Structure formats: structure tokens, C-alpha cells
Structure 1
Amino acid sequence: MPVAVPVHLHRRSGADMSGPKRSSRSRAAGAVVAERRAKAVRMKVSGARLEDIAAALGYNSVNHVSVDIKRALAANLREQSAATEEYIAIEMLRLDELLFAVWEEAMAGSPRHVELGVRIVEARRRLFPTQQVVALTTVESEILRLESELAARRPVTGEIEAE
């Protein structure tokens, strides 16, 4: 069992403060495990049986192969999730900037800017297609109110607009 070493002894000034450093031996062992897991996943995808994977890659048991494949897939999902979250955050910032750019004119009643604001809000919602919007934000509510007001000012089809 490893001996607990105070965290401050693992850190060097200016170094990453996220946690203890791994030894080069530990990193190498981790790389070997990651490579074997990747090979196991590739073999499984190509249709190999767990028994064949265990024999080819030197696993002690079929269960260990199964566990390694599950761990590799879980790690991949975490990486994809982190990348997706980063993408969504960047897109949200861009859309917020765009909304900010048209907001003043939209609040002044400019039909074009209200329309642009509504489109931006809709684009923000599309970033979360599986989630239902439970409550609208103040900004979104105000844009929808202005859109309704604008729609009420438009003449009904078939009527002649008085000038």
C-alpha cells in the first residue's frame, strides 16, 4: 500500500497545481494499458471474441478484457462530453455577443433587430435539443414580447394598409 505524502511535496513552483505528479514509470505503465485497451476495442469492433482478445493480448481472463473495453469506452465518452461542452460554451458566448449587438435596437422597437434577436435566441435553444426550456430568461421573454407586439402591428392578410 502506498505511503501518503503531503501534497505540497509533490508540487514544484510554477508547476501545475492540479494534483500530485505521476512518475515516468507510472506514465509509461498507463500508456501501455491505454494501448492494450485500444487494441482490445479495435479487435472487438472487428468482431473478435473476448476469448480471442484475451489470448492475443495477454489478458488473464475474459472478464478483464470486458472491463478494459468498458473503461476505454467510458474514457472516450468523457472526452467527447468535455469537447461537446467546450463547443457549446464557445457557441453560447458567440450568440450572447450577437444578441448584445442587436439588443439596444431591438428594445427601441426596430423590427429587423427584433427578428435578429429572436433568431439568435432560437439558435441558442438549438444547442440543447434534448432539453426542454422550463423558464424563459428575461431577455428571451422580452424578445418574445416585442415579437408579439410587432406581429400585432402588421396588417392582417387581405386588408389594405392605410397610409
Structure 2
Amino acid sequence: MTQGRFVEAETAARRAKLIKLRREGVPYDDPRIMGLGYATPGAARKDLTRALQNHHEDEAAEASVYRQQENERLDALLAAVWDKATTPSPVFNKDREIVAEEIDLKAVDTVIRLIDRRAKLNGLDMPVAFEVSGPGGGAVRLDHVTLPELNQLIATAGEPDGSDETDNEDLRYVDEDEDEDDHGDTA
């Protein structure tokens, strides 16, 4: 074993022991951790961060390889069904005469599902935007909301503005600190 590989193996073994001790809740300044060869608790903390980062990079590399393999499989499946989905085929009557040409709708559905799967695999789909707004389209105040008020807000969510012209005191959120300036002093 070369010197470099020996050091790598030693570092990996030390980090494995460090991770085990930290999972058990052992503090960084404990003699068991310091006995692993760390000069300070900060050095042990930094080494743990490096170990976790290296592990994360290894996981990301594995995920990238998996994603590539899945994309190649989807490519093969898509190539196998593409012609059926895009090229019209003859439609015969009972006398075996061509009466029309149609594309294979099952193949089209398969292509759409394969494309959808690829978009999900590669994160191509845009996230769905969701916004909750208060009366008149303004912000919903949640800093002084009681559970019954929140439940009523949830129950009425989705109603168009102006659908209920009555003033609903239960849904009116008042800033109880509105008479105070930024330092908590009353004006």
C-alpha cells in the first residue's frame, strides 16, 4: 500500500469512529473524540463536516450515474415505440382493403408517459405555484392568528374576492402592536 493510500485508509477509519461517537451523542471535547488524534474540538468538528461532505459528493455521483442509466433505458424504449407513435399505419376493412391511415394511439400514450418520466427524472417540470392571499388580495397576517381563525381561513380558502360582501370580524387580523414603534415603545 502506498503512503497516500495508507493515509486515506487511516483518515477513513478515524472519521468512521468520529461519526459513530457523534451519533452516540458524544461531545466534541470528550476524551474519546480527542483520543482519535484531534488537536482541538474544532478540528474534530471540521473533520466531521469534511466526512459528511465527501459522503454527500459520493451519493451525488452515484445518483448521477443512476440518472444516466435510466435516461439510456428511456432512450431505448422511446426509440422502440417512436415510429408507431408518429407514422400512420394503414387501417384495413374486412375485405383487407386500406380504408384509412392512423397513428397508434397506445404508442402515443406510451411516448407521452416516457417523456413525462424523463422530465421527472431530470427535474424538468416546473413546480406548481401556490399562493394564499388575504382580503382584497393582500397579505395574510398569521402572527396573531388563533386556531379557530386559521380553521375558518382554511375553510374559506378558494372563494373569489367579493363573494361575501359582509364584513367577517373573525377573519380580520389586527396588528396588536401597531401603536408601537420599531423599538417596542408606544407612540
Range of TM-score over shorter length: 0.5 to 0.7
1:89 and 2:89 correspond: no
Give the Å deviation of 1:120. Answer: 0.6
Task: Name whichever structure is richer in helix by fraction.
Answer: 1
After TM superposition, the runs of 4+ consecutive aligned structure 1 residues lying more than 6 A away are: none
Does the aligned pair in 1 maintain the 2:81–2:107 contact within 8 Å?
yes
- Equivalent of 1:70 in 49, 52, 66: 49
- Equivalent of 1:112 in 90, 106, 109: 106
Does the aligned pair in 2 maintain the 1:54–1:61 contact within 8 Å?
no
Kindly tell me the number of residue pairs found equivalent between the two proteins.
111
Task: Name whichever structure is richer in strand by fraction.
Answer: 2
Give the whole-Å Cα distance in 2 for the aligned partners of 1:105 and 1:130. 25
Look up the match of 1:122: 116
Cα 1:131/1:25, change in 2 over 3 Å: farther
Q: CA RMSD in A?
A: 1.8
Q: Which has the higher relative contact order, 1 or 2, with Cα contacts under 8 A spaced 6 or more apart?
A: 1
For structure 2, the 5+ residue unaligned runs are 88-102, 128-187
Relative to the length of structure 1, the TM-score reads 0.63
C-alpha distance after superposition, 1:121-150 (max 9, x if no partner): 1111121348639xxxxxxxxxxxxxxxxx
Q: Which has the larger radius of gyration?
A: 2
Secondary structure of the 1:57 match is coil
1:51 and 2:29 correspond: yes
For structure 1, the 5+ residue unaligned runs are 1-22, 134-163
